[in-house]
Amino acid sequence: MLSTAIIICSIIYAVSIGANDAANSFGDWIGARIGKPIYGMFLCGGFALLGAFLEGGKVSKTIGSGIIDSSYLTLTVAIIGIAGAILWVILATYFGMPISTTHSIVGGIAGLGLAMGVSINWTVLKKIVVCWLFTPTASFIMAFLVYGFLIKFLTKLKVYDKFEKISGVLLTLTSCYVAYTWGANDVGNSVALVIGSGVLSVKTACVIGGLGIFVGAVLFGWKVSQTIGFEITRITPVMGICSDISTALIIHFFTQFKIPVSTTHALVGAVFGIGFAQNRKLVNLKIGRDIATAWIVTPIVSGVISFCLYYVVKFLF
């Protein structure tokens, strides 16, 4: 029963990840009005599933056994960890706020470790937090530079109009690449505890998690996508291409080093970078502050929820 329960919780979390994080890869595609949102969500979910299948195991192991030793991950403990992350992600998705599902699960696991009084691998945790800080900063700088260079290059060659004619196709391709890297990195958020507790093999868990992400993106991904696509700054296809390239390269880089980072951080950082490169006045700084606040609050809230759930379960059973 516990094995079945943790698999179900993992699937629910994967669906919530798909619902909240689909915006990371196709929010700018929707904002640029390339096609109908439902088509974008199908492409997004499909490439995320591919990334989860081919490379999802890399980050899953870091989350599942890197923060606290896997010997402490009993089925009950793993279920509590996933449940804490699920509650916060669903709440944030309801309000259309793009938070980090990576922050949610890492915060949840750390909260569990504190509740159980077990040793936490602070070296791994500090490395993850440093990468969290680096991700939006690097993405901001890269997108700012790439956009500025591309505009000058196209203007100098007087081919900007020609480039715009094919920009929709290019934006679709770059959005699919972001979706692939998202699936590869973020599937670990939903299946890491299933793998760490020994219920499923890495490949099987990643496929199940990828399918959950696909379902979440297709059914619910449009809501947060509108926040990314319309409320930060006005997105054009050229802007979307630059933000996608910056986001995908940053996420794929960290995936190769098995480090769980936030696709949300990378994408939002890139969108802000391009917004500043184009015209600072077009950037909605208020929504930026709201998103940054949600990023800071997320691991704390998830950790507190998991901490409290652990003692509730311990008291009842």
Predicted model pTM:
0.83
Asked whether residue 108 is domain-assigned, the answer is yes
3 state DSSP class of 40 = helix
What total of structural domains would you count in the chain? 1
pLDDT value, residue 229: 62
pLDDT value, residue 184: 93
pLDDT value, residue 173: 95
pLDDT value, residue 228: 63
Nearest to 231 by CA among 182, 287, 181: 287
Asked whether residue 242 is domain-assigned, the answer is yes
Handedness of CA 136, 270, 265, 45 (dihedral sign): negative
Asked whether residue 316 is domain-assigned, the answer is no
The boundaries of the domain holding residue 229 are 2-311
Q: Per-10-residue mean pLDDT for the chain, 317 residues long?
A: 87 87 79 83 94 89 75 81 80 71 84 88 86 89 92 85 87 94 90 84 92 92 68 72 92 90 84 81 71 80 89 87
CB-count exposure of residue 296 (10 Å: 0-12, 13-18, 19+): exposed
Asked whether residue 192 is domain-assigned, the answer is yes
Asked whether residue 300 is domain-assigned, the answer is yes
pLDDT value, residue 236: 77
Asked whether residue 263 is domain-assigned, the answer is yes
DSSP H helical segments within the chain, as ranges? 2-31, 37-55, 57-66, 75-94, 101-116, 122-156, 160-196, 202-220, 222-226, 237-256, 263-278, 285-316
Rounded Cα distance between 211 and 207, Å, is: 6
Asked whether residue 317 is domain-assigned, the answer is no
